[in-house]
Amino acid sequence: MSDLPTSTALLEIEGLVAGYREAIVINGLSLKLSEGAALALLGRNGTGKTTLIDTIMGLTRHVAGTIRFNGEDITRLPPEKRAAIGIGWVPQERNIFRSLTVEENLTAVQRGSGWSVARAYALFPRLEERRRNLGNQLSGGEQQMLAVARALMLDPKLLLLDEPLEGLAPIIVDELLATIARLNREDGLTTILVEQKARKILPFTDEAIILDRGAIVHAARSDALLADEAAMAAHLSVADKPARIKRTMRTQTTTEPRTSP
């Protein structure tokens, strides 16, 4: 069981086993996330981060364990009903409607009175400037802003963000992180942020967990993990020795003369 703070838990996962078809990816995972908290979900590639997000949304094969949201057992709830009760999702692929305008993307999914198009534009002024552009006419950064804004139009209590910084220019990364932090700090929106760049997101989150083989191998306050070089190296650093060997071999191949037999 994760040792993260457990008071006023919005999301509770216990003994979760899940995956795709016959493959088990999440293996006995348990955690509790407090209402209003921001969680960094970390780990090397292939450790189960996206699968955990997909499982919270009800998109994987459930094998065992329970998921409770706001006190309700949602383990068997279909994805559309999870969205309806307050779980917002920004997938890696963004999944915006490319043939609709920015404004149509927002109005097509609007639910409740918590978020309006005007409020979304206030959060992302660039979207208002591009409101008549189609989804496929936006830059990568603008598409990510639209994906986040569209998830907010569902008026979520929990926002799941899967690799939201991938492929974005540094200035857009900083802008997006500041916006996510503002949503968490000022609006009390609970967030789970999946990201490869641990040092980039830890200053913007309260808590952090690291996954390996579908289980939590480290849980800590974000600031504590950021200061824990041993834990960062053990669980997040990617060994580059093979890459160095390959570079050396390429250099030798291109610079050393061949000798005649």
- The token duo for 83 is 């969205």
CA 141/CA 82 separation, integer angstroms: 27
Would strands 61-69 and 87-90 be described as parallel, antiparallel, or unpaired? unpaired
Instruction: Report yes or no on whether pTM surpasses 0.95.
Output: no
CA 87/CA 156 separation, integer angstroms: 5
pLDDT of residue 32: 96
Mean predicted lDDT score pLDDT of the chain? 88
**Phi/psi at 126 (nearest 5 deg)?**
-65, -30
pLDDT of residue 183: 95
pLDDT digits (tens, 9 = 90+) for 166-178: 989 999 999 999 9
pLDDT band, residue 196 (cuts 50/70/90):
confident
- The token duo for 130 is 């591009």
- The token duo for 123 is 């959060």
Whether 203 shows a pLDDT value over 90: the answer reads: yes
pLDDT of residue 220: 97
pLDDT band, residue 238 (cuts 50/70/90):
low
Share of the chain above pLDDT 70, in %: 88
The residues facing 210 across adjacent strands are 42, 218
Type and span of the H or E element at 73? strand 72-73
Three-state DSSP class for residue 194: strand
The residues facing 14 across adjacent strands are 66
pLDDT digits (tens, 9 = 90+) for 27-75: 999 999 999 999 999 999 999 999 999 999 999 999 999 999 999 999 9
pLDDT of residue 171: 92
CA 172/CA 106 separation, integer angstroms: 21
CA 29/CA 10 separation, integer angstroms: 17
Whether 141 shows a pLDDT value over 70: the answer reads: yes
Q: What does the buried/exposed string (b/e) look like for 162-179 if buried means 16 or more CB atoms within 10 Å of the residue's CB?
A: bbbbeebeeebbebbbee
Q: What is the sign of the dihedral through the CA atoms of 185, 111, 35 and 222?
A: negative
Q: What is the sign of the dihedral through the CA atoms of 23, 62, 27 and 48?
A: positive
pLDDT digits (tens, 9 = 90+) for 82-113: 999 999 999 999 889 999 999 999 999 888 77
